[in-house]
Structure 1
Amino acid sequence: MMMKKITIGLVAHVDAGKTTLSEALLYQAGDIRKWGRVDTGDAFLDPEKLEKQRGITIFSHLAHLEKAGVQFNLIDTPGHIDFATQTEASLNILDYVVLVVSANDGLTSYTKVLWDLFAKYQLPVFIFVNKTDLVADKTKLLQALQEGLSENCLDFTDQDNFYENLATVDEKLLDEYLATGTITDNAISRLISHRLVTPVYFGSALKLQGTEELMAGLARFGRAIPDKDDFSGQVYKISHDPKGERLTWLKITGGKVRNRMELPNSEKINQIRIYNANKFTTSTEAGMGEIVALTGLQTTYPGQGFNHRDAPHASLIPTLRYRLKPQNMDIHTAWDKLSLLKDEEPQLHLTWSEALQEIQLEIMGPVQLEILQQELQERFDLQVSFDEGGVLYKETITRSIEAVGHFEPLRHYSEVHFLLEPGPRGSGVVFANECSLEILANNWQQQIMTALASKEHLGVLAGYGLTDVKITLIGGRASNVHTVGGDFREATYRGVRQGLMELKLRNACQLLEPWYKFKLHLNQQLLGRVMTDIQKMHGEFFEPIITGDSVILEGQAPVSEMRDYANEVRGYSHGEGQLEYSVAEYRPCHNEAEIIKQAAYNPVADLANTPNSVFCYHGAGHTVTWDQVPLAAQFPYQYPLD
């Protein structure tokens, strides 16, 4: 009979004692001889140099242990909120999660954020209340869990009332208990796996109290996933070993993997590694329930499923934006090196902004920023500094106009007419063609449509990218003698800009700014301050959701106002408040005049995007300013303004 294999993850808020618990479990199972400590830098599951220096878990790590005939894959996740994206990435491969709660700290806001994540991933939970040697009132601790998380958090160490407490959760169990005086382990396992019951254990990891009971409960009531013959798997992490070898971390959810096996993405496995912290052995194959690191795969990504659904979109996303400034190399070389980090951590949101000519990154918090700076120095010899990056605004139009572009230097000729119309919010820039072949030959029309799609069209207010605009080709002119390739490209670019300048003159151009959708967890006493802050940010919010001493406030606010608010929340909530947000949409800019003044953009002076046209007079090309182009073209508007 094959040994049952179960993957568990240890998850907690910072300083709850999560890594100490992992050390205790490995030590008691005989997998490590020396019991390490986080604060002394010798914890088995904090093997990286940065983790030893900082005394915190930064990366998720894997270890193995056996208990009562069960083989456990144990994943220790970061506890600091700045590395929460690493924690969430691990959730999708877990069979069970062990939530560690400090008896001293109780239920923090971050603990409740984690609890919501477990619900999203439908993860069954075991709770270990740590440091109970310092807080002896177990009844009060259990009551706090039942009020703050779920009323079905039950004390699995209370043997006197164990079955009686369980029987109250389910009517069938109540009947079974009344008839037999007991409840089967299978029935209890079902309750746990369906999240109808959350077992709670109490103890002190540092003193090896309650840890044996926790593992015995996981071995007794934990269920392994059903066997499948066909291969399937879930990627949860990408990393690189010290020699630069790319590692794809995969949980096998069905069948087997073998050396040289071709995966559904058509890549072949070179090597199968079985890791225990930072040490590994190689294997020719691995089976269902195992977690392996595979080499030879270059296109895999965290969350990818092989014959298995991809992981859900992450809930915890970076909330702070910075501009990265290389100190010892040019920006393009730095970007090439940073691509490795982008590969490993998609939620780092590392991007190159062509418009701003800068590398931007979004992160969870200042501690992550410090770690990133050290990591770049040690891994890539890349010295960087950070400063606040700019918000990427966009521009649109609020009414329609016909635009004209003309390009006629000596021995060249082209003219185009477009209809510019406002598009639905979020539609981007859309191109259409309603020009008759009787007016302009098909080959010239195709050149125009290609030119339209080949360029990012900039607005004329501050030089940001155009969006939510429909540009329709409605007419044009060509010469049988003088029109050559490239002429219509020039006329096209000039025509779009000419129309935008006409609209600017009529106050029909608009600056848009990105808005965050936010969710804020914090103590109810701080609600008044937060609501005032959001109003000052020109934001909006829904009715607060109040549970006990905690409150959840959801709403939207401009990115420019809210992007640094996470730091403020950490400060005034003493680390207890948790702000989650993501870009929701673009809306009209709340301080348009101020942003336009700061940009100091002159659209006529932007020669790469000129709105002016070229006409031929007396055998030579002459520039005609945008406002005189319709008159010079002697072509009346088909779609005049009101």
Structure 2
Amino acid sequence: MTVQHNQTNKRQQDRTEKTQTHIVTGILAHVDAGKTTLSEAILFETGKIRKFGRVDHADTYLDTTDLERKRGITMLAHQTQCSFDNLDMTLLDTPGHVDFGAETERVISVLDYALLVVSATDGVQSHTQTLWHLLRKHHIPTIVVINKIDAAGVDIQAVYQDIRQHLSDNCVLMDEVPIGDAILDGTIYQDSTASAAVPTEAGHGLSEIDNAGNIRGELVDEIALCDELALQEALDTGAISASTISRLIADEELFACIPVAALKQINIRTLLMRLSQWCIEPQYGADFGAKVFKISHDPQHARLTWLKVTGGTLLAKALVTGTYHAQHHQPHAQSGSHTSLTTQHAHEEYWEEKVDQVRVYDADSFTIAPSIPAGYVCAVTGLQWTTPGMGLGAEADDMDPQLQPVLNYAVVPASSDGVEYTSDGDIENDAAVSGRAIQESDLNEDEYKRHSSEPLSDVESKHRRLAQLPQFDEVTLHRCLTALYECEDEDPLLHVQWVSEIGQIHIQCMGAIQQEVLVSRLHDQFGLDVQCVPAGIIYKESVTAAIEGVGHFEPLRHYAEVHVLIEPNASGTGITYASQCDPNALSVNWRKLIMTHLQEREHKGVLIGAPITDVKLTLLAGRGHEKHTEGGDFRQATYRAVRQGLMRARQQGMCVLLEPWYRFTLEVPTAYVGRALSDIQRMHGVLEAPEMTDYGTALIQGTCPVATMHEYATEVAAYSHGSGRLSCVVSGYEPCHNADAVISEYQYQPVADLEHTPDSVFCAHGAGYPVAWDKVEEHMHIDWMYT
């Protein structure tokens, strides 16, 4: 990595003086659409680089890691800067593979504009649609770039119609493509030579868009349909101004489509011209704010917080504040870090830390800057509490990510002879299975509390199969956990868990490629040889009706009682929190303490021990003792109150098991509609009425359990001979289609789970004694609050 110690250069000074329009632009695409090649083409055209790198030559500017260049795919988001005309652009290149979609989604949240690349040879793919929905969710103005138009057999108009059909009717093809002396406009392009690019039908020409970006001619009619004001302008003037185009794009009323051939630099200048003509720099407030979108570590393991400043100015050595996420573990403070853990000590809502270095990255090199104004992206050191999606200062936290893993994997030692282990117990070399089960005492207290048992360990049959897998020795175990914690810090969706019952580490991954990359990273960066073994679906639990729970904790010289109301919440809302406690009955500090304890733990359900979700937890009442109550007493009472309420709900049949469901769109030729409908019914899916298209295909939409559909794309490709297309996005958690079977397989005993006990502790005759959850009502000191 190269460090440039000059803090400013002429271009940075120009940006500071606001002589140019500055935007943060992301390049997104399905894998193999030519996204990285487009990045190279833009950098080459703007003079940022002198040599045009190629993915197949492993010398692209923004794929900076050895693993990315070796595999030929982008795995991490990378930053650079470039300028064209009056446009100054921070360019963020994102991963294209679906397994790294979470990294791309995090980047989307800080974009001003997006370039969505569609391959002219492949058209709109399922992951293209997923990216499109994410861009719409975050309201990011989008320009569609049709790449690879120089490939043999490409029909631009067919690709354009495919884009309009699968993305939006407001996608408008804005430019022809000049190749040699000819113009390519809606023709079948047979060869890359100019002589073959002879148009066979008329269309609007480049002359319809003048040098200022104003539009005249036939193109006006298409754009006028996007907006009433644009229509009125077209009727009054016969043209549409560049300012109107800018407004339509910014308001997501128009999605300009620009055809290019990035590898041959065809139409790249036109693309940049359109960006400079039509992109608007956002306006920012005076108060400091920033949005965190990425965490990484440099080669010296310094923690980097990547953020976009959304208000004011970020100064080096400045103090910044953020909302404390109670479920996140306390960071391991690095030397020189300045952290005020206000939540831990005073039970407030915010933490405060000091920024050390402010770095502006350019691929794998960076410049140290004294400050960064609003609208720019940088990486800072010194912050230990930040997480992706977190808002700093005046910026609010981002919404929960839509792309989430739904499968568990066990991390085990790799076999010395290359044997692949499976969770089905199909292990070719039994001699490789050795080592004892790791006990709770093998981990320190913080590690054990952070990484408590996952529900898969409670499945008797899976327990036996997984227990056959090899285990780490104690030293390697701690090295592996330390390495995975760093990986989890960068990607919280890994959700590293220590399963004490079988002495294993479990993680959550998006797919096979992510697993392979993680295994490679553990080997190359940390010297660990591991493999990932499938360990099942990620289930969750909820309740169907309101129920009150009570927890009492009163060993000798301790005292606390808490009453919590557990209510069902709308699907997809996760867990929300509220307080209805009488302020005269419990001091404000104790109320805040109880609310902190409600939020700091991942509460397990009582059906199979899966995490609870889609519930509202409300503090109803609490009681402490001036002399005997300590902070830990309310923690114990709060945990037990939630657990006791869940046990009461289970007793009354009010608990429900949830599983992840896909929202899917299946497009198949009409000849295969019957097969598709039959398959979806077999997979317990819920169908909408099929829609017949003008292209001899049928669109089938609906929802389906991930457990039954997660490998269906391969089946669709097989029976449709590659002409079918399946797009799946996890829509959330819904009632499990085979709940009884899953609960039966998971022989979970909630009262035996001592880490999540529903029982209470009372005191009599100078000694504490336990009271079972169903007998607490006879001993509790506060009457039921919810009737």
Q: Tell whether 2:305 aligns with 1:305.
A: no
CA contact (8 A) 2:316 2:370 kept: yes
Distance 1:323 1:576, change over 3 A: farther
Distance 1:550 1:84, change over 3 A: farther
**1:296 counterpart letter in structure 2:** G
Q: Deviations over 1:212-248 (max 9, x none)?
A: 1101110111111125433222211111111101111
CA contact (8 A) 2:234 2:240 kept: yes
- For residues 485 and 311 of structure 2, the distance between their equivalents in structure 1, rounded to whole angstroms, comes to 32
Pick one of 301, 314, 317 that aligns with 1:244: 301
The match for 2:716 is 572
Q: Tell whether 2:600 aligns with 1:514.
A: no
Pick one of 716, 737, 740 that aligns with 1:592: 740
Report the alpha carbon displacement of residue 515 of structure 1 after superposing the two structures with TM.
2.0
- For residues 27 and 397 of structure 1, the distance between their equivalents in structure 2, rounded to whole angstroms, comes to 58
The match for 2:206 is 159
The match for 1:618 is none
CA contact (8 A) 2:540 2:733 kept: no
The match for 1:11 is 28
- Determine helix, strand or coil for the equivalent of 1:39: helix
**2:411 counterpart letter in structure 1:** L
CA contact (8 A) 2:24 2:112 kept: yes
The match for 2:375 is 289
CA contact (8 A) 2:751 2:757 kept: yes
- For residues 206 and 743 of structure 2, the distance between their equivalents in structure 1, rounded to whole angstroms, comes to 66
CA contact (8 A) 2:488 2:494 kept: yes
CA contact (8 A) 2:659 2:736 kept: no
- For residues 312 and 457 of structure 1, the distance between their equivalents in structure 2, rounded to whole angstroms, comes to 21
Q: Deviations over 1:407-441 (max 9, x none)?
A: xxxxx9xxxxxxxx99869999xxxxxxxxxxxxx
What is the correspondence of 1:429-468 to structure 2 with a 5 Å cutoff? none
- For residues 28 and 607 of structure 1, the distance between their equivalents in structure 2, rounded to whole angstroms, comes to 60
- For residues 82 and 605 of structure 1, the distance between their equivalents in structure 2, rounded to whole angstroms, comes to 34
What is the correspondence of 1:540-559 to structure 2 with a 5 Å cutoff? 540-543=686-689, 549=697, 551=699, 553-555=701-703, 557=705
Pick one of 244, 247, 250 that aligns with 1:190: 247
**Where does the alignment leave 5 or more consecutive residues of structure 2 unmatched?**
1-17, 177-204, 210-215, 323-351, 414-470, 548-555, 557-564, 577-593, 618-632, 760-771, 779-787
Distance 1:351 1:609, change over 3 A: closer
Report the alpha carbon displacement of residue 384 of structure 1 after superposing the two structures with TM.
2.3
Aligned residues: 585
**2:395 counterpart letter in structure 1:** H
- Determine helix, strand or coil for the equivalent of 1:58: coil
Q: Tell whether 2:107 aligns with 1:109.
A: no
- For residues 343 and 607 of structure 1, the distance between their equivalents in structure 2, rounded to whole angstroms, comes to 25
Pick one of 216, 219, 223 that aligns with 2:280: 223
- Determine helix, strand or coil for the equivalent of 2:520: helix
The match for 2:409 is 322
Q: Tell whether 2:39 aligns with 1:22.
A: yes
RMSD (CA atoms): 5.3
Q: Tell whether 2:72 aligns with 1:55.
A: yes
Q: Tell whether 2:259 aligns with 1:202.
A: yes
CA contact (8 A) 1:569 1:579 kept: no
Pick one of 353, 363, 371 that aligns with 1:267: 353
**2:134 counterpart letter in structure 1:** L
The match for 1:639 is none
CA contact (8 A) 2:68 2:75 kept: yes
**Where does the alignment leave 5 or more consecutive residues of structure 1 unmatched?**
401-411, 413-420, 429-448, 471-485, 612-624, 634-642
Structure-2-length-normalised TM-score: 0.62
Report the alpha carbon displacement of residue 57 of structure 1 after superposing the two structures with TM.
0.5
CA contact (8 A) 2:407 2:534 kept: no
- For residues 516 and 165 of structure 1, the distance between their equivalents in structure 2, rounded to whole angstroms, comes to 48
- Determine helix, strand or coil for the equivalent of 1:388: strand
Distance 1:552 1:89, change over 3 A: farther
The match for 1:581 is 730
Distance 1:599 1:292, change over 3 A: same
CA contact (8 A) 1:272 1:283 kept: yes
- Determine helix, strand or coil for the equivalent of 2:57: coil
Q: Deviations over 1:17-53 (max 9, x none)?
A: 1101110111121111221111221111111111011
CA contact (8 A) 1:9 1:97 kept: yes
- For residues 315 and 19 of structure 1, the distance between their equivalents in structure 2, rounded to whole angstroms, comes to 24
Report the alpha carbon displacement of residue 367 of structure 1 after superposing the two structures with TM.
1.1
CA contact (8 A) 2:543 2:568 kept: no
What is the correspondence of 1:394-543 to structure 2 with a 5 Å cutoff? 513-525=657-669, 528-529=674-675, 531-543=677-689
Q: Tell whether 2:98 aligns with 1:81.
A: yes
CA contact (8 A) 2:660 2:733 kept: yes
- For residues 156 and 92 of structure 2, the distance between their equivalents in structure 1, rounded to whole angstroms, comes to 27
CA contact (8 A) 1:363 1:369 kept: yes
- For residues 293 and 241 of structure 2, the distance between their equivalents in structure 1, rounded to whole angstroms, comes to 35
Report the alpha carbon displacement of residue 588 of structure 1 after superposing the two structures with TM.
7.0
The match for 1:361 is 507
Distance 1:606 1:220, change over 3 A: closer
The match for 2:553 is none
Distance 1:109 1:461, change over 3 A: closer
- Determine helix, strand or coil for the equivalent of 2:19: coil
CA contact (8 A) 2:690 2:698 kept: no
CA contact (8 A) 2:30 2:118 kept: yes
Q: Which has the larger radius of gyration?
A: 1
The match for 2:159 is 141
How many percent of aligned residue pairs carry the same amino acid? 33
